[in-house]
Structure 1
Amino acid sequence: MGITRMIYMVTMLFSLLVSILSSSTVGFDYFQFTQQYQPAACNSNPTPCKDPTDKLFTVHGLWPSNKIGRDPEYCKTRNRRKRAKTLEPQLEIIWPNVLDRTNHTGFWRRQWKKHGTCGYPTIQNENDYFETVIKMYITEKQNVSRILSNAKIEPDGQSRPLVDIENAIRNGTHNKKPKFKCQKNNGVTELVEITLCSDKNRAHFIDCPNPFLPGSPYLCPNISIRY
């Protein structure tokens, strides 16, 4: 084999590999459905929120994820059906841009491009992505605020042990382990996010892989978590 042909074949193989890795065929292992508690999300943000917050967990994102290695991002789209305008009134309630309520659409667009595009084939297109989140939060009752309220845990600013919060979430997700994100604000540890995890087909809840490890600034302690 001549050197020119060998170089050509190596180049073609490299191009094919890049194409595969950059497309939605890379795949993923599971979904993270992450919701953020609005007051704590604002408190942990370097830039103050522009508007008053609600004492609610609202959607941060639905993220195709991997148990090992990096999560997929910015994948190619196969079906270009755009988000329907009729979905926006519901999205503004359950998926607001907490940090800047004048730019909900920019927030949704970033979530779709970075994460939603990688959910194929479970997520078919942009409209399906947002319809799926609405279904999860409302119809399937994966609303973290509601799950906690059903367990008599309300956003009253009390400090609680992590086990009480975890047990409440487990009761609403067939005893599967959620993922928690906390952050300190003026010496007080606040509950910032709760993530529910499901398999890649969104058919079943699973124990969330990859919790924050000891030493992480986002690790929730066992006691004294404000919510």
Structure 2
Amino acid sequence: MGITGMIYMVTMVFSLLVSILSSSTVGFDYFQFTQQYQLAVCHFNPTPCKDPPDKLFTVHGLWPSNKIGGDPEYCKIRNPRKRAKKLEPQLVIIWPNVPDRTNHTGFWSRQWKKHGACGYPTIQNENDYFETVIKMYITEKQNVSRILSNAKIEPDGKSRALVDIENAIRNGTNNKLPKLKCQKKTRVTELVEITLCSDKNRAHFIDCPNPFLPGSPYLCPNNSIRY
């Protein structure tokens, strides 16, 4: 191959890489909608929560994620449109900064910049990100507390079997497997987070990929999970 051919090949490869990297289809392949149980969050937080927690699962974040490899973070912000102030009363209820309720806006901004901006084009801008989460939690009834309650699993501090929690969530998500996070302190294992997963277009629930593996401090045991 002559020098001209080499230059042509290098140029074509470079152009292909630029095209792939700039494509809106590259970067993530599903969404994690993660909700955290406030009592457990405060129990395991390094510093005490500034206000008493509620016995509720509230939003931790909506995170574009990959089945293989790292999840995208701090992506380029496209179509900038700020979060509408009118959304904040609902966000305070469903998406509070549990450890520090004096700084909800800082928490929301971090979630948008670190995760939400990577959801383009499914998520168009900052306002769309928060409107989408409100819709998921309220209109689409992806409120984990409600899903568990519908299965007669209430936050009464009882020990639960893993299969009962998973089946309750499956009943609310077209029989798709959630991702559960537990933590242990003084021989008591508590349910801390539940994640619902959907495809990259948010059109369908999917089985959550990448569960916590044996040996992880966040793996939920088969029995004796306090909620």
Match of 2:97 in 1: 97
Match of 2:65 in 1: 65
Matches within 5 A, 1:170-209: 170-209=170-209
**1:216 has 2:216 as partner:** yes
Match of 1:47 in 2: 47
Deviations 1:37-91 (A, max 9, x none): 0000111111111110000000000000000000000000110011000000000
**1:166 has 2:160 as partner:** no
* Matched position secondary structure for 1:39: helix
* Matched position secondary structure for 1:218: coil
* Matched position secondary structure for 2:58: strand
Report sequence identity in percent: 87
> What one-letter code is carried by the residue in structure 1 that aligns with 2:139?
T
TM-score (norm 2): 0.91
* Matched position secondary structure for 1:54: coil
> What one-letter code is carried by the residue in structure 2 that aligns with 1:36?
Q
* Matched position secondary structure for 1:117: helix
Distance 1:71 1:18, change over 3 A: farther
C-alpha separation between the residues in 1 aligned to 2:216 and 2:152? Answer: 29
> What one-letter code is carried by the residue in structure 2 that aligns with 1:47?
T
C-alpha separation between the residues in 2 aligned to 1:115 and 1:142? Answer: 19
Deviations 1:134-186 (A, max 9, x none): 00000000000000000000000000110010100000000000000000122
Distance 1:106 1:19, change over 3 A: farther
Matches within 5 A, 1:99-178: 99-178=99-178
Q: Tell me by how many angstroms 1:23 deviates.
A: 8.7
Distance 1:154 1:142, change over 3 A: same
**1:26 has 2:26 as partner:** yes
Q: CA RMSD in A?
A: 2.2
- The number of residue pairs the alignment matches comes to 221
C-alpha separation between the residues in 1 aligned to 2:169 and 2:195? Answer: 10
Confirm or deny: 8 A CA contact 1:178 1:196 kept in the other structure.
yes
TM-score (norm 1): 0.91
Match of 1:86 in 2: 86
C-alpha separation between the residues in 2 aligned to 1:178 and 1:158? Answer: 21
* Matched position secondary structure for 2:93: helix
C-alpha separation between the residues in 2 aligned to 1:18 and 1:189? Answer: 47
Confirm or deny: 8 A CA contact 1:24 1:76 kept in the other structure.
no
> What one-letter code is carried by the residue in structure 1 that aligns with 2:188?
V
Q: Tell me by how many angstroms 1:27 deviates.
A: 2.3
Confirm or deny: 8 A CA contact 1:24 1:77 kept in the other structure.
no
> What one-letter code is carried by the residue in structure 2 that aligns with 1:120?
Y
